[in-house]
Amino acid sequence: MTYISDLERNHLLDLLVIAQQRLDTLKEIAATTNDSLSGTDIRIAIGDAITPLNIAHEAAETF
């Protein structure tokens, strides 16, 4: 097993908190949007949610 320093762990947890907030926003948008731009709004929210997860994934690869 690889040791993860407290600094690395806290950085990863911070990224996951951001990802969760963006997933919550995505859920809200999907539940409430209902206009001609709904698809665009949902795609943007998905991209926003994926970004911190991709960063967390890259960070975890360095552990």
Classify residue 43: in a domain, yes or no.
Answer: yes
Classify residue 28: in a domain, yes or no.
Answer: yes
Classify residue 1: in a domain, yes or no.
Answer: no
Average pLDDT (50-60) is 93
Classify residue 21: in a domain, yes or no.
Answer: yes
1 band by pLDDT with thresholds 50, 70 and 90: low
Give 15-40 pLDDT, tens digit per residue: 999 999 999 999 999 999 999 989 99
Classify residue 25: in a domain, yes or no.
Answer: yes
Number of domains in the chain: 1
pLDDT value at 54 more than 90 = yes
62 band by pLDDT with thresholds 50, 70 and 90: confident
Instruction: Give the integer Cα–Cα distance in Å for 9 and 22.
Output: 20
Please state the pTM of the whole predicted model: 0.81
Q: Do 46 and 22 meet the contact criterion of CB atoms below 8 Å apart?
A: no
Classify residue 14: in a domain, yes or no.
Answer: yes
State which residues form the domain around 50: 6-61
Classify residue 13: in a domain, yes or no.
Answer: yes
